[in-house]
Amino acid sequence: MHGWIILDKPLGLGSTQAVAAVKRNLREAGFGKVKVGHGGTLDPLATGVLPIALGEATKLCGRMLDASKTYDFTICFGTETSGLDAEGEIVATSVHRPSLAQVEAALGHFTGPIEQIPPAYSAIKIDGKRAYDLARAGAVVEMKSRAVIVHDLCIHPDVTIGGLEAVTLTANVSKGTYIRSLARDIAYAVGTVGHVSMLRRTRAGPFDLESAISLDKLNAFGQGAAQEDIILPIEAGLVDIPALDLSPEQARAVQQGRVLTGIAMKDGLHWARGADLRPIALVQNVDGILKTVRGFNLTP
């Protein structure tokens, strides 16, 4: 069992719980013990695209974690909370409400490479302990600024004009970007405070909501529903990089981890495949020298 289940994670379910639900349903469907991992944590208060890797696809989880992601999120103005979301204590309030034009004008300052301070309630480790554990214990948590990239940031089309109690935005961001911090800083930039009242991930790497299934559909699979559209092939997580077709001799060399030369191809990361079109390995070409980055053990 190798491939991907793309879950449209519901509100209130943690990423670890989602992985456990996939394992349970695979067992109930008769697949026995399958290695399972996820490609990017989603908070329980967030919904949307959660790529869950099966078998050899788990070797791509690190690459999925590094991928850019797209979110829709709503900033509720006037109240800032300790967690910068709908949970936590209120730590600041403001009576000011920005106009749509003010929000739109501020977005340019948060597009491109930016520095942001992660929320105290985050999974970042400080002296070996999770920041959220320290924060919940009442410790004063000092978070260090980090560099991230906001590739695109815009106002969601479904927004009313006027003094805003809330605004919904769409952001395409690099790994390590905290949407809650982005929302906090945008609120500051327009002269008020705010928190995230809705967060939905619409894309993670090559996966979007069109390929995602509901928890109900996952559970139906565990109870005997057809596998069709539930499990995507491993190569579905590789569509954003080019494929490299190898001869049988070249495929054997790559599977053995040997270096290849003399293949006409562009520099960069590729996924190699043999005559049966199954993925053999992730390979990196640099100046005509092809090296294996990660091999896949996929038997026909």
If you ran DSSP here, which 8-state letter would residue 178 be given? -
Residue type (1 letter), 187: A
At 157, list the tokens: 């089309």
- What is the gyration radius of the CA atoms in the chain, in angstroms? 22
Q: 239 φ, ψ to 5°? A: -70, -15
The one catalytic residue in 43, 72, 85, 185 is 43
Instruction: 211-217: list long-range contacts, CB under 8 Å, 24+ apart.
Output: 211/6, 211/236, 212/6, 212/7, 212/8, 212/48, 212/49, 212/50, 213/5, 213/6, 213/7, 213/8, 214/8, 214/10, 215/7, 215/8, 215/9, 215/10, 215/13, 215/21
Angle formed by the axes of helices 215-222 and 15-28, nearest 10° = 30
Is 208 a residue of the active site? no
Beta strand spans in the chain (E) = 3-9, 36-38, 47-54, 69-77, 79-81, 90-93, 112-116, 125-126, 129-130, 146-155, 166-173, 194-204, 207-208, 243-245, 260-261, 268-273, 279-286, 289-295
- Which residues are part of the catalytic machinery? 43
